[in-house]
Amino acid sequence: MEFSSFSSSFIFHFNRFRTIANSFLSQYEPLALLIVPLISLLIAHALRSFLNILHDKGLKATILGFLMTSIKLVPGVKSYIDAEKKKVVEKMQSDGKSKREGWQTELPSTGLGTSILEKMREEKRKDVIWQGKCSGTVYIGGNESEGHFSLINEACSMFAHTNPLHMDVFQSVVRFEAEVVAMTAAFLGSKEKTSGGQICGNMTSGGTESILLAVKSARDYMKSKKGITRPEMIIPESGHSAYDKAAQYFNIKLWRVPVNKSFQADVRATRRHINKNTILIVGSAPGYPHGIIDPIEELGHLASSYGVCFHVDLCLGGFVLPFARELGYHIPPCDFSVQGVSSISVDVHKYGLAPKGTSVVLYRNHEIRKHQFVAVTEWSGGLYVSPTMAGSRPGSLIAGAWAAMMSLGKDGYLRNTKALMEGSKSIQKGIEEIAELFVVGRPDMTIVAFGSDVLDIFEVNDIMSSKGWHLNALQRPNSIHICVTLQLVPAVDDFLKDLKESVETVKKNPGPISGGLAPIYGAAGKMPDRGMVQELLVDFMDGTC
């Protein structure tokens, strides 16, 4: 009844519209002939942008985004949302503002000379205690004035003035870089009979730069090889956010594919996303969130059969897995010995125990790597060629990485790996014994992620923070992880004791208690409007530095 009256009134209005349009058209026929195609073009354009957004973000996110934009047009709503947003950002920054009091904002008019060293020591003492309390963060064991730590610092200071950009002047660091790359490649499969050329690579400033370069090289290599001009890449949901950075920087469409029940890259789902524009698929060994190795051999097979590049993210695992395998732990092949692997990133500044700012990117052959370089022929500054994102590069860090690898040697890494693997097993076992907690998937290495079905795990994290621990919060599922370092190995028992106590505390006090970040993590995870969460993050960063 209602519907038919609606439809008849619609038809009535439509007919009226048609009559008006017809009389208009007959009057202004020449003009209409011009306007109609123009309007059609406009509509087609709008429709195409809409479809593009739909394609990029998916149906749900597009509708939500549209709804949120509309809601914000209602008077007062935007200012309300902005005010709430500001509150959350301030909470995330806690008392960030007051901390800036007394900060230097201009050069001292008279230089302070060596007296600044004491001032710096004073500042350093204000950092929180990280020794034995931080997940990941500082991978070198011991303290700064002894052993490996002080050796690295000395190596760095010896080469602080050097820059491999000037290879004619600093042959020392040029050689160190080549040797760090060769030694790393050697335990990641370059010595085995690999097909497809000669493995090569460069040192970079960190895992992110290694990944950015591998993605950039894959994009340009696939353009030259297959003529792909609208590149796409497929990343498991557990793959590092450096791939989002790469997608944004290099204008590549990014498909994020959910992981399977074991929290590994889903090979079949990955296959479903491959199309003629695919340049790259990625697997991690292991992934940062849960420390689980993706099915690298199966992904390699997939990459070979479709002729796409395949990057293995060994940022975290590169200096552990080869040694763990040698020690007899079950580690599936995940390096260049796997067919189809075209590039690898491996951080020396994590388990390589080198200074921060050192990583290696490796390629199956020179043909792929050549697409990493930038060569400029028409600059008045002369002929210029540079291998990585930075122009000038810190020779000191290259020297520090070389010193780390040479001083530790294979036996050093084997010894460390044993300690790290056993420490991680104890932590995993200890967590499994806490009834309220579960371990996420089956950790392959030195990262243990855990959550809870009965408690707010972020509340547990807040209590752990109040006890001086710095763990990492994760989502999907809500959980936290600990990345076991040499600093943490002697602290395993303390960690488990504090964790048990924290679980008890949260159990006895259900509901928000800690005044920490738990409510924010909880809310951010549940907010359907991801655009808003993104704005929060940007505002947070913008206010921090």
Ligand X SMILES: *Cc1c(COP(=O)(O)O)cnc(C)c1O
Q: Which residues bind ligand X (CB under 6 A)?
A: 206-208, 240, 242, 284, 287-288, 313, 315-316, 347, 359
Q: Which is nearer to ligand X, 159 or 243 (CB)?
A: 243
Q: Which is nearer to ligand X, 228 or 346 (CB)?
A: 346
Q: Which is nearer to ligand X, 89 or 285 (CB)?
A: 285
Give the shortest CB-397-to-ligand X separation in angstroms. Answer: 12
Give the shortest CB-41-to-ligand X separation in angstroms. Answer: 44
Q: Is the peptide bond before 258 cis (omega within 30 degrees of 0)?
A: no
Q: What does the DSSP 8-state code read for residue 232?
A: E
Give the shortest CB-208-to-ligand X separation in angstroms. Answer: 3
Give the shortest CB-300-to-ligand X separation in angstroms. Answer: 18
Give the shortest CB-213-to-ligand X separation in angstroms. Answer: 12
Q: Which is nearer to ligand X, 163 or 359 (CB)?
A: 359
CA angle 226-51-7, nearest 5°?
150
Backbone angles phi, psi at 200, to 5 degrees: -145, 170
Q: Which is nearer to ligand X, 226 or 256 (CB)?
A: 256
- 140-to-11, 157, 245 alpha-carbon distances in Å: 76, 17, 28
Q: Which is nearer to ligand X, 291 or 430 (CB)?
A: 291
Fill in the amino acid letter for 166: H
Q: Which is nearer to ligand X, 315 or 492 (CB)?
A: 315
Closest residue to ligand X: CB criterion: 207
Q: Which is nearer to ligand X, 292 or 532 (CB)?
A: 292
How big, in percent rounded to 5, are the helix, strand and coil portions of the chain?
55, 10, 35
Give the shortest CB-37-to-ligand X separation in angstroms. Answer: 50
Give the shortest CB-243-to-ligand X separation in angstroms. Answer: 9
- 429-to-36, 136, 142, 443, 481 alpha-carbon distances in Å: 71, 19, 25, 11, 14
Q: Which is nearer to ligand X, 315 or 503 (CB)?
A: 315
Backbone angles phi, psi at 289, to 5 degrees: -60, -50
Give the shortest CB-242-to-ligand X separation in angstroms. Answer: 5
Please, how many CA atoms are within 13 Å of residue 420, restricted to the half-sphere of its CB?
A: 36
Helix (H, G, I), strand (E, B) or coil at 162: coil
Distance CA 19, CA 528 (A): 45
Got the DSSP string for 420-482?
Answer: HHHHHHHHHHHHHTSTTEEE-S---SSEEEEEESSS-HHHHHHHHHHTT-B-EEETTTTEEEE
Angle formed by the axes of helices 492-508 and 457-466, to 10°?
120
Give the shortest CB-306-to-ligand X separation in angstroms. Answer: 24
Distance CA 150, CA 355 (A): 11
